[in-house]
Structure 1
């Protein structure tokens, strides 16, 4: 009964081949490396290692808000000034056109 059947021989050969393959050895090495890496890490590591800048204070935010408001009022006044200037130029053009027509009419009549 010491003789092995062909099925037993094939099973033993398959087990030996499975344990001796390079792929299995690499996988086992990767698992061992991962275990070693997690064992070396400290228990509590910070999420990031860079220094955070402190936030703006209330006074700084108020100053920024005031600057934006003053700038907005300045832009509003500048827009109003441009509109008034445009209206003035339009009125001037209409008046000059009327004067030019009157002058041309007087020249044609011989005055």
Structure 2
């Protein structure tokens, strides 16, 4: 399990850009490491009843980190699209205003 954590951590560190999504992925990896260390240090007592495991596994943390990365990229593209849309709308309004003023001067 530790080998998979090390491989995932190396893959995250190999990313070319240091964005907020990569920082979140690194934080998720650190949380997964802490959870694994705490599980290893827990006393080995066996109860007669079943305990439901409340901690997330390494795969879940990696999945969450990937979802955050994809979501942030989607948010960036949406922001870019809104900026382009705003610029196009401003140009259309300016052209229409100029046409309106030209037609008013002609009368």
In structure 2, the residue matched to 1:57 is: 57
Q: How many residues align?
A: 59
Deviation at 1:53, TM superposition (A): 2.3
RMSD of aligned alpha carbons: 1.8
In the TM superposition, structure 1's runs of 4+ consecutive aligned residues that sit over 2 Å from their partners are 50-54
Deviation at 1:51, TM superposition (A): 3.7
Structure 1 unaligned segments of length 5 or more: list them: 1-49
In structure 2, the residue matched to 1:42 is: none
Mapped partners of 1:53, 1:60: distance in 2:
13
Deviation at 1:58, TM superposition (A): 1.1
Mapped partners of 2:86, 2:67: distance in 1:
28
In structure 1, the residue matched to 2:71 is: 71
Q: Per chain length, whose mean CA-contact separation is higher, i.e. which structure has more relative contact order (CA < 8 Å, sep 6+)?
A: 2
Per-residue displacement from partner, 1:3-55 (whole Å, max 9, x unpaired)? xxxxxxxxxxxxxxxxxxxxxxxxxxxxxxxxxxxxxxxxxxxxxxx945242
Structure 2 unaligned segments of length 5 or more: list them: 1-49
